[in-house]
Amino acid sequence: MWQYIVKRLLLMIPTLIGAALVIFLLMNIIPGDVALLIIGGDQGGDINPRELAKLRTQLGLDRPLYEQFLTWLWSVVRLDFGKSLWTGAPILEEIMIRLPLTLEIAIFATIISTIIAIPLGTLAAVRQDTWVDYVVRVISIGGLAIPAFWTGILIILFLVIYFEWGPPLEYASIFQDPWENFKQLVWPIVTVGYRNAAVAARMTRSTVLETMREDYIRTAWAKGLQERVVVVKHALKNAFLPVITIIGTEIAFLIGGLVVTETVFTLNGLGRFMVDAIAHRDIPVVQTLVLFIAFSFVFVNLIVDLLYAWFDPRISYR
């Protein structure tokens, strides 16, 4: 097992370097460069060409592209992401301030949506083409169709009218002030979670549907077992593996959902940080955040794969 984990970790490296390369090339397509942005030349002001050249040398922009890439990669490895053009603070610091909030929403939304989605999806599959199935399907397709920002706006509308709600000014940590933290994050978690639950319920339904057609399920029925035993002990147990994958795929939806949800609820998390950075054309921050998100995404998928291998007796760790 350990050998397998190490091997998978090593296989991750080319993907990560490739992702970094994609981001690097993408950010280099931008007309003009970071030096021009720092001086403010893109605003159309007067630029001192000598100062610009000096800054470019300072930032290493006059060196060949591959050298710039390797330098950047090395600084990423040392966790030195440079400074934000907008605030002037180190980017790593800015990320660390916002990470707990985003992480908390992500984790709770995943847990809650999984708890809701798996029973619902299973129920819909077992009662295929009955009203139960239709209700679950409509709710879950609705979850995919309703944009997270609209759910958020509707919730805010409701809260403002009935509870005189105002956006939180400062993030209250779950460890210091659990109640305040709950009040701040329960609605964003519901917003993100609904969408995730929809994705998970749909996938659970289709996997259970497939499993229910297997021969051993027919055997279980033929033995005269009760429906509950057939579904829970036979079908769901085997549909459980794909469900792990579902949690993995949810992460992709989760990140997109977080960006818009944090913006709607004006929460100071990583998603909103990214939107702000794009609006300010704070390229170093955008570059770092995209890299950070891609890395976390790859990492979560690795964990999902490992869990899969761990639970599935048919997969050998070689």
Partner 1 sequence: MAIATPRPYPVVVGHDSALYRIWVAIWKFVRTKPLGAAGAAIVIAMAFAAIFADFLAPYDAYELNQRLQFKAPTLTHWLGTDEFGRDVLTRLIYGARIALFIGLASSFIGATGGAILGVISAYLGGKTDLWLQRVMDILLAFPLLILALAIVTVLGRSLPNLILAIAIPVIPRTARIVRSSALSAKENVYVEAARAVGSTHIRVMFHHIVPNIMAPYLIVLTAQLGGAILTEASLSFLGLGTAEPTPSWGLMLSGGAPMYAEKAPWLAIFPGLVISLAVFGFNLFGDSLRDALDPKLRHRS
**Which residues make up the interface to partner 1 (CB under 8 A)?**
14-16, 18-19, 21-23, 26-27, 29-30, 134, 137-138, 141-142, 144-150, 153-154, 156-157, 160-161, 213, 251-253, 255-256, 259-260, 263-264, 274-275, 278-279, 281, 283, 286, 290, 293-294, 297-298
Reported as half-sphere exposure (CB side, CA atoms, 13 A), residue 190 has a value of 14
Nearer to partner 1, 213 or 223 (CB): 213
Q: Please report the DSSP string for 181-211 in residue order.
A: HHHHHHHHHHHHHHHHHHHHHHHHHHHHHHH
Residue among 123 and 286 whose Cβ is closer to partner 1: 286
Beta carbon of residue 26, minimum distance to partner 1 (angstroms, whole number): 5
Whose Cβ is closer to partner 1: residue 193's or residue 248's? 248
Least Å distance, CB 313 to partner 1, is: 25
Exposure pattern of 113-135 as b/e (b: 16+ CB <10 Å)?
Answer: bbebbbebbbbbbbeeeeeebee
Q: With respect to partner 1, which residue has the nearer C-beta, 150 or 311?
A: 150
E strand or H helix at 67, and its extent? helix 65-77
What one-letter code names the amino acid at 192?
Answer: V
Distance of CA 227 to the CA centre of its chain: 37
Shortest separation between residue 138's beta carbon and partner 1, angstroms: 8
Q: How far apart are alpha carbons 272 and 152 in whole angstroms?
A: 14
Is 90 in a helix, a strand, or coil? Answer: strand
Q: State the nearest-atom distance from the C-beta of 248 to partner 1, in Å.
A: 12
Closest CB 294 distance from partner 1, rounded Å: 5
- For residue 249, the minimal CB distance to partner 1 (Å) is 11
Question: Rounded to the nearest whole angstrom, what is the least distance from the CB of residue 43 to partner 1 in the complex?
Answer: 15
Tokens of 175: 């460890």
Q: Phi-psi region for residue 293, left (φ > 0), alpha (ψ -120 to 50) or beta?
A: alpha
Q: Which is nearer to partner 1, 60 or 256 (CB)?
A: 256
Residue type at 181?
A: N
Nearer to partner 1, 25 or 115 (CB): 25
Compare residues 26 and 186 and give the one whose CB is closer to partner 1: 26
Residue 25 is which amino acid?
Answer: L
